[in-house]
Amino acid sequence: MLLRGRTESDELLKMRLLSTRMKLSQEEKFYYFNLEKGYEGEVEFDRKAKSLQEERYFINDLLLKINHSYFQIDSTLISQDVIRLLDVKNFEGDFCLENDRFYAVKTGREYKNPIDQLNKCTSQFRQLLRDLKLNFLVEASVIFINPEFTLYNAQMDHPIILPNQVNRFLKSINTTSSKLNERHEELAKQLLSLHQTKNPFSQVPNYQYEELVKKIYCKYCNSFSVSLQNHIFVCDKCRGLETTEDAILRNVKEFQLLFPERRITTTTIYEWCNVDLTKRTFCRVLKKNFTAIGKTSDCYYI
């Protein structure tokens, strides 16, 4: 039973928007690429994990805190006899694990050792269980989901599931019956209640309203080369279509995510979209889809 689904984080959504509206540095592009890649891998694992049967609780994207320290768990699987902490990685290419170093063979670029990360996370989770006075067996694994991934120097005792082992790993779980009781339900409720909504690991770059490109762009290919034809935005690059109202509402959501402290007004969204439409059109769409607060020039929408 899925208790907490997986959605794109605010961090990923912001990076996706900023990559279109401002120039990112090479490191910022690399960080954004890894966020997208990581999310794709987690979604692929979720697809495979749908094959799991029997009574089990599945909780995705938990961010927990203990002793002023935060830790993340990609997937938490609560079964009758064991809690599995699963860290999903979507690396692609040849990698090596050597003397606690984890690096790409081709480029030599070093990454955080996923086993060290997993061990720290597992230790913190066990501490959390002790603080909650809950006693469960905990097992943890790093799951490399990408079929184009190869790892050299992996040891037999490493808690690693390689791409060609993922299906067998899930099948082995399925072969073990699982019946849940009040203890498992209580644990699941505790974990969900302890989930932290503000991510301290976020590395979204600093950005200012003035430095962002203000214009409607294609929702399919992110091109700013769009033209208005009979109340429909048409992308000159991919020929994607989007109604005027949908495009305005999409940009309102984008503005709210990037600037939550700013009020939504007709003038603000008119300037943000920067397209050949009258303010009256923006006012009509906002009035239709939001609640107006105030009158005339002081009016804003929630």
Torsion of CA 161, 164, 165, 168, to 10 degrees: 150
Is 68's pLDDT higher than 80? yes
* Tokens describing residue 243: 């109604």
What's the pLDDT score for residue 1? 85
Q: Which amino acid is at 223?
A: S
What's the pLDDT score for residue 250? 97
Is 2's pLDDT higher than 90? no
Which has the closest alpha carbon to 273: 206, 205, 212? 212
Mean pLDDT across 36-48: 96
Q: What's the mean pLDDT when you consider all of the chain?
A: 94
- Structure pTM? 0.89
Residue boundaries of the structural domains of the chain: 2-194, 214-301
Is 20's pLDDT higher than 90? yes
What's the pLDDT score for residue 100? 87
Residue range 237-253, pLDDT digits in tens: 999 999 999 999 999 99
